[in-house]
Chains A and B, each alone.
Chain A
């Protein structure tokens, strides 16, 4: 360990140190405001430190972590998303009394795990990051320990995530057996004279895809998603949908790029099949759901399917497209769950689509923001989601993945239906008994700032994408 290594690892050190500090703070002074403030400041400092250390990148810090501009860009995104989730969580837990401070501690740890994941360059750090993330998520999902659906969701995630970790570990073991190295780079490079794909390597890669596919909730491995999205507290759901999936995707993209996915090979055919299945089933199953959170769960399955198109396209444009799409997806999904969380924290009430009837008339700003988020998820112009999808299509066409592009367009059209159904319900006539009810303040300062910022970013990235695009090209495309 040299001085430079410590400097470049500053974002991770800040987050890890903050988790310990928050734990000590909770043990001596239980204060919701103080805990949330420390968490927010730490995550903000982590974002700033990412910008500071960017000049020193790329640098391999020990054998485990690589801090290149690719890792740093996504780290910044993850920390920024963590800030947004913290503010939304503060709004949500303000009205509750029991053990709410621990949420921020777990959130910090989960963010740390994701950051390790995106910078990992070795199977050991991959697994460490994944476990830090998963173990924190078990507790985050089951955070309402007195509510049965929340506990059930936590146990379900615990069992399934443990099983998927087993798949992942077995896959790593097989690849290690074949290549004799645990670093990504050397385990993917092929020495001369050795056949490129042996059965062991193929089996190991397949098991890796199963493990990561579970984290991303791609179609054959998606069963857990709706129940967990429904049972977990909304801020935790926002985190799972954005940061947890995003980190796993970034890792998969890094690994597959190193491997060099040749079109026509078994692996690319398998990933293409998973992508097509995710896009279609995600969107089709969402049509049948009556609950908003379950609809968004299936929609997130479809979104991960869209992102796989970027992995298969595998060009310089594809990396940029994936980056842009992830930023757009993070903004819209955190915003959507932010509004769901604000509504549930303040008004309570069911989660069915019909419960949202007339919500936009009662709270015009929140309703408008929710509309913008949903339109972005659907990929309507002047929102970030449109530009993201546009680049995905461009990347797919550049690599002439015609079938995937056609499926992407067709399944997006199916998806439009259920997004529009929620939007129409938002602006529907309010229920009679609701009309006389006292109007509660719509949102607290923290939640309001977060949601305003997200909506603003959403429209900015959609209407004027050039600055973000230049940043992504500089960080990821190079």
Chain B
């Protein structure tokens, strides 16, 4: 397939579609800008919090545990994906495939050992950065 005659007839609905999407977005934003009401003053510029005046800053410190769990999920769930892919073709890939899978799982296991030894798996307060951060949650 050469680019010069790259199915030009098949492309025009896409071009029209893109044009319509852009036109609609501009149209909606534009008309509401022209026709819409404008309020100033009062509590207009403040974030809406169920009718009460907001208190405190929005910049809380959250615990980084969520992130840790997400990373563990990525590491150990993706491992399963690769193992499944290998399991389908286990006979075809033979001993070489088996050795490769051993190396792969071995590296992941040593990563797990590392995480365990540095205390990343502990749920306690050993790795929380600050006491105050948890109180504010």
Contacts and interface: CB of A to CB of B under 8 A. Distances in A.
B75 interface: no
B3 A20 contact: no
Contact of A195 (B2, B111, B114): B2
B1 interface: yes
A27 B6 contact: no
Given A20-B107, A26-B118, A27-B116, 4 more contacts: A20-B106, A24-B110, A177-B1, A198-B4
Contacts of B116: 27
Contacts of B117: 26-28
Contacts of A23: 110-111, 114
Interface of B is mostly: helix
B114 A198 contact: no
A178 interface: yes
Contact of A24 (B1, B6, B96, B114): B114
Interface of B: 1-4, 6, 96, 106-107, 110-111, 113-114, 116-118
A181 B120 CA distance: 43
A28 B113 CA distance: 9
A115 B4 CA distance: 38
A201 interface: yes
A55 interface: no
Interface residues of A, number: 15
A27 B116 CA distance: 8
A1 B4 contact: no
Contacts of B6: 200
Contacts of A195: 2, 4
A194 interface: yes
A311 B76 CA distance: 43
A200 B96 contact: no
Contacts, number: 34
A450 to B, nearest CB: 28
Nearest to A21: B110
Interface of A: 1, 20, 23-24, 26-28, 177-178, 194-195, 198-201
Contacts of B3: 178, 198-201
Contacts of A28: 117
A198 B111 contact: no
A27 B114 contact: yes
17 contacts: A1-B96, A20-B107, A23-B110, A23-B114, A24-B110, A24-B114, A26-B114, A27-B114, A27-B116, A27-B118, A28-B117, A178-B1, A194-B2, A195-B2, A195-B4, A198-B3, A200-B3
Contacts of A20: 106-107, 110
